[in-house]
A and B are shown apart, each in its own frame.
Chain A
Amino acid sequence: MSIRINQEACVGCLKCIKVCPGSLIKEKDKKAYIKYPKDCWGCVSCVKECKFDAIDFYLGADIGGNASTMNVTYEGDILHWKIKKSDGTVKTIDVFSKDSNKY
């Protein structure tokens, strides 16, 4: 359970550093990096904050992860969640933020 920050995609806006509820992301060479990967709660606050598709969220092998990653981008009130599976397939789920949970 943690995140990976793609150093190529990171533009150094550092918004993720601010929002992490554990302050686990730090700055190095004008880019964000996860300094304490084992301390991540998996809340994906940073993933939601990143507008540059630079942060991926994944499940650790100890909780059954098999190298798929997930991130989210916004388009107005729509959240596009994208799951890249390890076999290369991609699944997207769109959530309209004005819709309530049905269950």
Chain B
Amino acid sequence: MSKKLEHIVITTDVLIIGGGTAGCFAALTLSKNSNLNVVVAEKANVKRSGCLAAGVNAINAYIIEGRKPEDYVDYATKDAAGIVRHDLLLTAARKFNATTKVMEQLGLVILKDENGKYVARGNRNIKINGENFKPILTKAVEEAKRVTILNNLNITDLLVENNEAMGAIGFHISHEKVYEIRAQKVLVATGGAAGLYKPNNPGFSRHKMWYPPFNTGAGYAMGILAGAEMTSFEMRFIALRCKDTIAPTGTIAQGVGAKQVNSRGDVYEEKYGITTSERVYGTVKENQLGNGPCYLQTSKIEKEKDEELLKAYLNMAPSQTLKWIESGKNPSEQDVEIAGTEPYIVGGHTASGYWVNTKRETTIKGLYAAGDVAGGCPQKYVTGALAEGEIAALDIIDKFDATKSIQTNSSFVSKKMKEYEDILYNQSDFFTVEELEEAMQKVMDEYAGGISTHYQFNEKQLKLADEKIDQIRQMTKHVRANDMHELMFVYELKERLTVCKSVIAHLLHRKETRWHSFNENLDYPNTDEGYFKYINSILVNDELKIIVRDIIKEADYEHTN
């Protein structure tokens, strides 16, 4: 038995895949600065989708008074041990403050001092009430002219002809409808990838993780499969978080100055260094040395700060507030245990993602990338996602050619439709998505440097991981979706498996340890300056080809080969 899905064709000027922070800001920029018609395809609903669902309580990439965008570039470069794109960091940093201003005009609350100046938190941050950051941004997009939002539309593949983007294809998650969206310019803004590795809480609370569990690497996977060049997938991101709730630590570490201590009360952060990866590494080492658990020492803060801390967490990670109240002890009455998360692939924190030119166009013509899906520009955070959405949108306006027609490949579209239909009524349902996801996460955890191996691995283990991921990919043939929502689950699994392959290939090719924990190769425990290079990859005939590129110094980078 097979079911026929309805085929709907939509033609627009610009398609934005993913209505999170970057995608929404790009839509807003296009609407304000051009007459182009824009479609935003979002697999959930734009109101709270993406990274900012619960909120955020600081702008973590901001040029505070007395600092320059170049200072930000220096900081991000040092933190990533040099494997960054200066052109991308600088162009983003120059827009951090202006995009913040736009958000303030839309209604974002930012803390000001008595002179009306923003209050800094550390050297690069300002404090906000970002509980409603995403609804504020979304409201503006909903009111924007010539922007159509299609919620609950899950895009699976790009439509690419002769290395040029022509649109994308996907399906509705509740109606039996396939959407072929034809567009001259396409912006991928789907976020990074969570759920590749076995998470901190693998049981009932498996989705209580740092990164949105609904960011499944869709944008990476569709780019990889379409032959786009990708960079730095070996620079994994591991967050240092409050244990169990996986809530942010910045508010207590930077906000109230709590120190990182081991169970003996020793402050250990200086011992291992203070880069993002070294803070994680230090915590892992202290546990291995028998000095765990590790904590943020909130017991040293004044009691008066308790109530404001409880409120601060309500605006971004309410589970931590609930945890404090449930325990019957306020922050000043107990230290907060901390732990490293499972590794993620996320271009907003580390540098993994599409290899783009300075204007954020990928190696596929007419295909742009912004936010966590775009590589080379770590520590860009929320304002960097806004900035990249704007940079990409402005270049799209600049390059748009009204005389050009779009040619989609009808045989590819029919093949995709049949693929969806076959999964919906697959006679072979030996495994469930859940079973294969668990298998994938176990392989990545044990053989590709997950939590259980203290984020470490060697080449033999990585090769085994690669073999096992291949086997699981084969098993996806034996999965059935009983409805359109389950069809999305199947594609999310496939996306993650595609990303896993790239992560493993990149980890194998960086034969050094440049970042503790993020890329801790036990066969090559030291940094090798021969690897002061970008590790990039491109899928050719179903094989990942590695491209090693020199560090780019130019202010303006264009794709040449």
Contacts and interface: CB of A to CB of B under 8 A. Distances in A.
A41 interface: yes
Contact of B205 (A62, A66, A70): A62
Nearest to A81: B314
B299 to A, nearest CB: 16
Given A61-B204, A97-B132, A1 B319 contact: yes
Given A22-B44, A59-B245, A102-B111, A41 B208 contact: yes
B309 interface: yes
Interface string A63-103: 11110101000000001010101000001010101111111
Nearest to A23: B44
A99 B129 contact: yes
B54 A42 contact: yes
B207 A41 contact: yes
B213 A103 contact: no
B334 interface: no
Contact of B251 (A41, A45, A101): A101
B101 to A, nearest CB: 16
**Could you say which interface size class chain B belongs to?**
35 or more
Interface string B200-228: 01011111110011100000000000000
A19 B45 contact: yes
Contacts of B206: 38-39
A2 interface: yes
Interface string B316-330: 001101110111000
A60 B208 CA distance: 10
A103 B430 CA distance: 51
Interface residues of A, number: 42
Contact of B109 (A1, A22, A83, A99): A99
A57 interface: yes
Interface string A16-52: 0011111100000000000000111111110000000
Nearest to A20: B44
Contacts of B48: 19-21, 43, 45
B204 A95 contact: no
Interface in B30-63: 43-45, 47-50, 53-54, 57-58
9 contacts: A19-B47, A21-B48, A21-B49, A23-B44, A39-B206, A42-B54, A57-B319, A62-B204, A85-B326
Interface of A: 1-2, 18-23, 38-45, 57-66, 68, 70, 79, 81, 83, 85, 91, 93, 95, 97-103
Given A38-B206, A58-B322, 20 more contacts: A1-B205, A1-B207, A19-B45, A20-B48, A21-B45, A21-B48, A21-B212, A22-B213, A23-B152, A23-B173, A38-B205, A41-B54, A59-B245, A59-B326, A63-B245, A91-B325, A93-B310, A100-B109, A102-B111, A103-B305
The 6 A-B pairs at the shortest CB distance, nearest first, are namely: A103-B255, A100-B111, A43-B53, A101-B57, A63-B244, A1-B208
